[in-house]
Amino acid sequence: MANKDELVQTARNPWWQGAAAVALVAVVATAALGGFGQAKSKPLPEYKAGHRYQGGALAVTPLRAWVARYKPGGRIDAFNPKSYLVLQVEVENRTPRSFSAFGYPQQDLILVSSKREPIQSDLLMRSDDHSVAGDLHPRLKQRIDLVWTLPKNYVYTPQATFGVFARAYKAKAYLNDEGAWVQGKPAAKYTMAVQDLRDRAVAP
């Protein structure tokens, strides 16, 4: 298991603490059962954008991150102004079956708060047509955008830390002996440059 102090590089944005409180139940439960708060041996491997990490059920290659006043493919909403953090990543389903993009990718590729807590994205979108991401099919690489809604007091900093959980197949994962890809401990982290696109009114 990774040393707690080495687990993630502290994110410096002040909104991370508040955002952590709204992390979804699945990630909170995962963290409690063996997540980013546990400690002991060597530090997690740390990668930059463009590195492919293969974590059992899913292979991920984070490509770029940015902050904008619109969701991918959209434009500024003058009546409901918001800001968004977006992480674009290439994902590949390495299992023999299709699964929902709101399953493993959203649970396994997360933003890390200043308290080393995992924060799930609010939305997953296809990078090509900006539609809501659906199923991920075996061995088919696909680019998706993970989107986090930022609070009004968000203060921009030029980088953020993202964490990756690994999964292993268990032939008897449940009491009914049903097999499943079970999420394990934190396996890697990415320190990503965050581009500021808030001066653009329309998505590039």
Q: Using one digit for the tens of pLDDT, what is the confidence trace for 149-174?
A: 998 888 899 999 999 999 999 887 76
**Residue 204 placed within a domain:** no
The domain tally of the chain equals: 1
Query: Is residue 83 assigned to a domain?
Result: yes
Residue bearing the bigger pLDDT, 9 or 164: 164
Instruction: Provide the pLDDT confidence category of residue 144 given band limits of 50, 70 and 90.
Output: very high
CA distance 31 to 70: 30
Burial string for 96-133 (b: 16+ CB within 10 Å, else e) reads eeebebbbbbbbbbbbbbbebbbbbbbbbbbbeeeeeb
In a domain, residue 177? The reply is: yes
Length of the chain: 204
pLDDT value of residue 203: 63
In a domain, 202, yes or no: no
Task: Answer yes or no: is 94 within a domain.
Answer: yes
Structural domain boundaries enclosing 12:
4-196
> Is 98 domain-assigned?
yes
pLDDT at 30 over 80: no
Does residue 68 sit within a domain? yes
The answer as to whether 15 is a domain residue is: yes
